[in-house]
Amino acid sequence: MTEKIKMHAPIVEMDGDEMTRIIWKLIKDELLAPYIELNTEYYDLGLKHRDETDDQVTIDAAMATKKHRVAVKCATITPNAQRVEEYDLKQMWKSPNGTIRAILDGTVFRAPIVVEGIRPFVRTWKKPITLARHAYGDIYKNLEYSVEGPGTAELVFKGQDGKEIFRDTIHEFSGPGVIMGMHNTEESIRSFARTCFNYALEVRQDLWFATKDTISKKYDHTFKDIFQEIYDNEYSEKFEKAGIEYFYTLIDDAVARVIRSEGGMIWACKNYDGDVMSDMVASAYGSLAMMTSVLVSPDGCYEYEAAHGTVTRHYYRHLKGEETSTNSMATLFAWTGALRKRGELDENADLIRFADILETAAIRTIEEGVMTKDLAGLSELKDKKIVNTTGFLREVRKRLDSILSERK
Task: Kindly state the average pLDDT of the residues 206-212.
Answer: 98
Of 261, 293, 295, 264, nearest in space to 278 by CA: 293
Task: Kindly state the average pLDDT of the residues 104-113.
Answer: 91
Q: Are 286 and 144 in contact (CB under 8 A)?
A: no
pLDDT for 279: 85
pLDDT for 183: 95
- CA-CA-CA-CA dihedral for 334, 339, 341, 342, to nearest 10: 140
* CATH number of 1-118+302-356, picked from 3.30.565.10, 3.30.420.10, 2.40.10.230, 3.40.718.10: 3.40.718.10
Q: How confident is the model at residue 150 (pLDDT cuts 50, 70, 90)?
A: very high
Residue count of the chain = 408
Q: How confident is the model at residue 408 (pLDDT cuts 50, 70, 90)?
A: confident
**Is there a shared CATH topology between the 1-118+302-356 domain and the 119-142+185-285 domain?**
yes
pLDDT for 101: 87
Residues 304-358: tens digit of each pLDDT: 999 899 999 999 999 999 999 999 999 999 999 999 999 999 999 999 999 999 9
Q: Is the pLDDT of residue 76 over 60?
A: yes
Q: What is the mean pLDDT of the chain?
A: 95
Q: How confident is the model at residue 283 (pLDDT cuts 50, 70, 90)?
A: confident
Give the separation between CA 40 and CA 27, rounded to whole angstroms: 14
Angle, alpha carbons 183-189-195 (nearest 5°): 145
Cα dist from 127 to 4, 112, 277, whole Å: 34, 9, 17
Residues with Cβ within 8 Å of residue 234, at least 6 apart in sequence = 194, 197
Residue 153: phi, psi to the nearest 5?
-100, 130
Q: What are the domain boundaries of the chain?
A: 1-118+302-356, 119-142+185-285, 144-181
Residue 170: phi, psi to the nearest 5?
-80, -50
Residues with Cβ within 8 Å of residue 142, at least 6 apart in sequence = 180, 181, 182
Q: Is the pLDDT of residue 293 over 80?
A: yes
pLDDT for 67: 98
CATH architecture of 119-142+185-285: 3-Layer(aba) Sandwich (3.40)
pLDDT for 136: 84
Q: How confident is the model at residue 20 (pLDDT cuts 50, 70, 90)?
A: very high
Q: What is the DSSP letter of 147?
A: E
Give the separation between CA 239 and CA 221, rounded to whole angstroms: 23
Reading phi first (left if > 0) and then psi (alpha if -120 to 50, else beta), residue 209 is in: beta
